[in-house]
Amino acid sequence: MGVAAIRRNDARIEEAVAALKALLGDRLSTARAILDQHGKDESYHPVMAPDAVAFAESTEEVAEIVKICAAHKVPMIPFGTGTSLEGGVAALQGGVTIDVSHMNKILEVNAQDLDCRVQAGVTRKQLNEHLRDTGLFFPIDPGADASLGGMASTRASGTNAVRYGTMRENVLSLTVVTADGRIIKTARRSKKSAAGYDLTRLFVGSEGTLGIVTEVAVRLYGVPERISSAVCAFPDLEGAVNSVILIIQSGIPVARMELLDEVQMGACIAYSKLEGYQAAPTLFFEFHGTEAGVAEQIEMVKSIAGDFGGTDFKWATKAEERTALWEARHKAYYAALALRPGAKGWPTDVCVPISRLAECILETKKDIEASGMLAPLVGHVGDGNFHLVYVIDPDRPEELAQANALNDRMVLRALAMEGTCTGEHGIGYGKMDFLVAEAGEAVSVMRQIKLALDPDNLMNPGKILRI
Amino acid sequence: MGVAAIRRNDARIEEAVAALKALLGDRLSTARAILDQHGKDESYHPVMAPDAVAFAESTEEVAEIVKICAAHKVPMIPFGTGTSLEGGVAALQGGVTIDVSHMNKILEVNAQDLDCRVQAGVTRKQLNEHLRDTGLFFPIDPGADASLGGMASTRASGTNAVRYGTMRENVLSLTVVTADGRIIKTARRSKKSAAGYDLTRLFVGSEGTLGIVTEVAVRLYGVPERISSAVCAFPDLEGAVNSVILIIQSGIPVARMELLDEVQMGACIAYSKLEGYQAAPTLFFEFHGTEAGVAEQIEMVKSIAGDFGGTDFKWATKAEERTALWEARHKAYYAALALRPGAKGWPTDVCVPISRLAECILETKKDIEASGMLAPLVGHVGDGNFHLVYVIDPDRPEELAQANALNDRMVLRALAMEGTCTGEHGIGYGKMDFLVAEAGEAVSVMRQIKLALDPDNLMNPGKILRI
């Protein structure tokens, strides 16, 4: 299976693979199954396999691999867990995938400074497991158990972003291997700095197109004294979204506030066997703080939700109940896919200013209903960010075309509302045209930067920008 | 007075000035007083005057000015209020200063989205004055009443950063004129985005070396229900700093937490005629939140401070009392200068991980005492950031040399503690060597970006990087 990549340097790739083999031995693979697995992310995008996969074990080794690939002008694609959603790992022009999943050491935890440094292959769950006895946690949680290198590279966020920010706010510094194999550290460990260009933020979200992230230093947070989760169903989507808007505008520091429409809620109930819930527009909340602070937040949120018809709050205060609830939320994507066995998911996301959220969601929902497509809606609505999953058979061109048309309309709607074509999934090769529509002339500045740092266009080519 | 700039393009500058005169009329000045005023910031750095000052009134006009300067290969220096501290506005190679202080329109306030967009010349006080009746405020407050364009360009922070972040976290998007006169917008208005490179963060802190900021969109915050300020003296500096460290590590969301050593506190008492305070190591606090939340924070902070000997809390809950207190704090620099009439100030700042703060401050203090210099210490210590002002006569080489030696030791100490050579003042041309010491190979990546976006090195040349 799989679509053939437009390979280049067929002659030189063999030389590069031979040199890499000499460096890495068994950790350089050209086995078909390994190649295919590395050419595919979690979305409907077809397999675009690389010519070889290099399993690196250190920053220095990544630098050596990059030098070899650069010398042979062979494309390089970084790979963490392969859970990207816009085709980020596809080897569009062949080349060598640099898999950092073996780089999974937690290098330091500075509990007194609320920060830590890990290798790029460490996943968010692994980090939190490691932190369990420290009283600290790392809040950023995209649905998948992604690697921190991948999360940094796509500027990931997730359910906690409304309170704790995204990878943009939470990465303190990165170790990066540049396109010519130099090793740089983007920042020091102090909380703030005015020293020179913000290379940390430049590499966060650059999707491997400017260099390869090998180490990530992030902020940590104290586990709150009190955590309470609640689920609240609403009679209609509008009431749920308007509650969100008012909660945000009131400055209530909710830690999580997630919307599931009735289709997605139904899917989650079925998939995660949730009992006592109804397939209605629903908000999932979580409150973090002191005993008194959480009580205060809850009172304010209940009052606002009540005004919009959301009255039936179901509470989960015990850790295991909360975990079950959020597990169900994090599995929303798989729950959506389970609605149509054998189908694939095309997940997409946009983000708009909070004042436009109700309008954007309701118009989008109307579009979906008119199309008759299966496309559950779920979102980190506290940030103005929401997702659709078009549940399709990608081998049926008419379904792809229909999803494309719906997606175009949704993204252009978000742009017209001063929003962005992606709140957290990234551009990959799925949204390059939308980036041009969104950023206009700024894309040419991005291109100048890309060409300065990667003049041969070897770093994850074909992603974010057309060169 | 003043040091002569190493001018370049003496022949072509006249052509550029003539073209600018035709474009701007009276708004292009070559008057000596205007030139000198624009060649000097608030620090001890000597006047380095430009050849002309262009007073722009719109983004489009800045673009026209830039095109003329670029065509004649004449350096361009952006100017807001001239309150930078590392020589940022100095025309080191002559050229044209582009003064944006006439660009002082507030373009939009989106109260529902907690954001606004202003022209680059709007100052922080002007913005907050404008917001007064909206229930919103903009928290970033460097001591001076700086322009938002300048604050963005130096990645400014101030007393509220410990809770609200710096310009890095609070700029939503920028309008920028590139070195070749194109106009770009770096981002949309949504709270987050994963669409392409983070140009916003790249231009924030770039000190005018990559382009000229003409509009700034920033986040706003609801004025808290309850605000309380307090001042607490400590028997020694160590106790004050250790209180800060423990408060931060406990996750108490103080809005402001400022340290003044006994020299600085004495200066402020004298300069701002504060009554009932003593010239001792002192913390200034501010608490924001709900009634109950603030009460809770205060209790925790009092308990921690008490353990380190800080017991005599003086409270200011009325708006005018609070304003007087923070005015005194913001005038710390001028108060320090007033200790030695006729002297100049050399303000410097470093920032370290909070766990190293006590060590860094106490060693620095010992150095100062050994030197016999007058150098009050003040700091945004909640961020691990503190300042010294060397109060010197810059015409006495031995004083400059002594300040230089002290400064070297302080910065290298901060770097050895994984800190940064500047938490908020920027590099300017005062700290370029330290940037190299701090960032190492990363400086070469910064240089690649600079040369890509400004190949002729015309944008504020001689700042941040040696090209």
Any idea what the CATH number is for the domain that residue A92 is in?
3.30.43.10
The mean per-residue pLDDT over the stretch A364-369 comes to 96
> Which structural domain, as residue segments, surrounds residue B265?
226-333
- How far away is chain B from the Cα of A153, in angstroms, using its nearest Cα? 10
* Residue where a domain terminates, one of B307, B333, B359: B333
Locate the chain B residue with the closest alpha carbon to A186: B442
- Which residues of chain B fall short of a pLDDT of 70? 1-6, 8-9
- How far away is chain A from the Cα of B66, in angstroms, using its nearest Cα? 16
Any idea what the CATH number is for the domain that residue B259 is in?
3.30.70.2190
Q: pLDDT for B213-225, tens place per residue? A: 999 999 999 999 9
Nearest to B176 by CA among A352, A256, A442: A442
Ranges of H-type helices in B289-427 = 291-307, 319-330, 332-338, 357-371, 397-416
> Is the ipTM value over 0.90, yes or no?
yes
- How far away is chain A from the Cα of B29, in angstroms, using its nearest Cα? 31
pLDDT score at A128: 98
Q: Is the pLDDT of residue A1 over 50?
A: no
Q: Which residues of A touch B292 (CB under 8 A)?
A: 292-293, 296
A437 burial via Cβ count (<10 Å: 0-12, 13-18, 19+): middle
Q: In a mutagenesis test of the A interface, which of B137, B191, B415 is the best target, namely the one with the most A β-carbons within 10 Å?
A: B191
SS3 A363: helix
B222: β partners:
B136
pLDDT score at B317: 80
Do residue A269 and residue A396 come from a single domain?
yes
Locate the chain B residue with the closest alpha carbon to A115: B353
Do residue A387 and residue A316 come from a single domain?
yes
pLDDT score at A311: 82
Locate the chain B residue with the closest alpha carbon to A211: B445
- How far away is chain A from the Cα of B422, in angstroms, using its nearest Cα? 6
- How far away is chain B from the Cα of A126, in angstroms, using its nearest Cα? 23
Interchain CB distance below 8 Å, A445 and B199 = yes
pLDDT score at A43: 84
Structure tokens belonging to residue A368: 């979906």
CA angle A343, A349, A353 (to 5 degrees): 155
Do residue B171 and residue B147 come from a single domain?
yes
* Residue where a domain terminates, one of B281, B307, B333: B333
Q: Is the pLDDT of residue A11 over 90?
A: no
pLDDT score at B1: 37
Residues B55, A53: Cα–Cα separation, whole Å: 57
Do residue A92 and residue A234 come from a single domain?
no
Nearest to A430 by CA among A393, A392, A400: A400
Locate the chain B residue with the closest alpha carbon to A223: B251
Determine, yes or no, domain membership for B437.
no
Q: pLDDT for A157-186, tens place per residue? A: 999 999 999 999 999 999 999 999 999 999
From the list B113, B198, B434, which residue is nearest A204 (CB)? B198
Q: Which residues of A touch B192 (CB under 8 A)?
A: 155, 157, 161, 166, 168, 351, 383, 385, 420, 423-424
From the list A166, A198, A355, which residue is nearest B110 (CB)? A355
Q: pLDDT for A242-291, tens place per residue? A: 999 999 989 899 999 999 999 999 999 999 999 889 999 999 999 999 99
Residues B89, B87: Cα–Cα separation, whole Å: 6
- How far away is chain A from the Cα of B314, in angstroms, using its nearest Cα? 25
Do residue A134 and residue A24 come from a single domain?
no
Any idea what the CATH number is for the domain that residue A412 is in?
3.40.462.10
Q: Which residues of B touch A352 (CB under 8 A)?
A: 190
Determine, yes or no, domain membership for A3.
no
pLDDT score at A312: 84
Interchain CB distance below 8 Å, B465 and A178 = no
Determine, yes or no, domain membership for A244.
yes
pLDDT score at A161: 95
Q: Judge contact between B465 and B450, C-beta under 8 A.
A: yes
Do residue A259 and residue A355 come from a single domain?
yes
Locate the chain B residue with the closest alpha carbon to A453: B448
- How far away is chain B from the Cα of A184, in angstroms, using its nearest Cα? 5
Q: Which residues of A touch B221 (CB under 8 A)?
A: 251
Structure tokens belonging to residue B390: 């060397």
Interchain CB distance below 8 Å, B415 and A188 = yes
Q: Judge contact between A423 and B192, C-beta under 8 A.
A: yes
Q: Judge contact between B298 and B290, C-beta under 8 A.
A: no
Interchain CB distance below 8 Å, A192 and B157 = yes
The residues, ordered by sequence, that sit 6+ positions from A141 with a Cβ below 8 Å of its Cβ are A124, A158, A159, A160, A330
Q: In a mutagenesis test of the B interface, which of A188, A192, A202, A381 is the best target, namely the one with the most B β-carbons within 10 Å?
A: A192
Total number of domains constituting chain A: 4
Locate the chain B residue with the closest alpha carbon to A444: B184
Q: Which residues of B touch A439 (CB under 8 A)?
A: 184-185, 195-196
Do residue B200 and residue B267 come from a single domain?
no
* Residue where a domain terminates, one of A102, A128, A162: A102
Structure tokens belonging to residue A427: 């551009």
SS3 B78: strand
Determine, yes or no, domain membership for A1.
no
Q: In a mutagenesis test of the B interface, which of A157, A183, A197 is the best target, namely the one with the most B β-carbons within 10 Å?
A: A197
Interchain CB distance below 8 Å, A446 and B197 = yes
Nearest to A242 by CA among A296, A310, A325: A310
Do residue A296 and residue A251 come from a single domain?
yes
Determine, yes or no, domain membership for A2.
no
First to last CA, chain B: 28
Laid out side by side, the sheet with A28-29 consists of A28-29, A52-55, A96-99, A76-79
Identify the DSSP state of A94. B
Q: Which residues of A touch B112 (CB under 8 A)?
A: 245, 249, 353-355
pLDDT bucket at A130, cuts 50 / 70 / 90: very high
pLDDT score at B319: 87
